[in-house]
Amino acid sequence: MRYAEVKPAWIICRKLQAIPVDDDAALLRLAERGRVRPDDYVVNRRLDVCVQAKEIAEVAAILCSARVRRLRRISSLLAWGAGAIRSLRQHRFA
């Protein structure tokens, strides 16, 4: 089998880029690593369909859980920052 005959299972399309992805597991790994955006178009060559990444249930679940993790991290940083500001104000006015 020649390289020209081997085609990727998925293609991620973003702006003018086309990123080939070998199989379903690789697509999910890319989503877990944050390499797939919800508004990226994803082409499945086997099914001959093109959809946005957020429309694929498995990818959407990964994107949602990543968003929750990010929000938790941000909220803890905001809480820490508010506590630091409060303690600075107390020391300034004491």
Per-residue pLDDT of 22-32, as tens digits, reads 999 999 999 98
Q: What's the start-to-end Cα distance of the chain, in Å?
A: 78
- Predicted confidence pLDDT, tens digits, the chain (94 residues): 454 566 899 999 999 999 999 999 999 999 988 899 999 999 998 889 999 999 999 998 988 887 777 777 788 878 888 888 888 877 776 5
Q: In angstroms, what CA-CA distances link 52 with 14, 15, 27, 68, 93?
A: 10, 13, 13, 20, 54
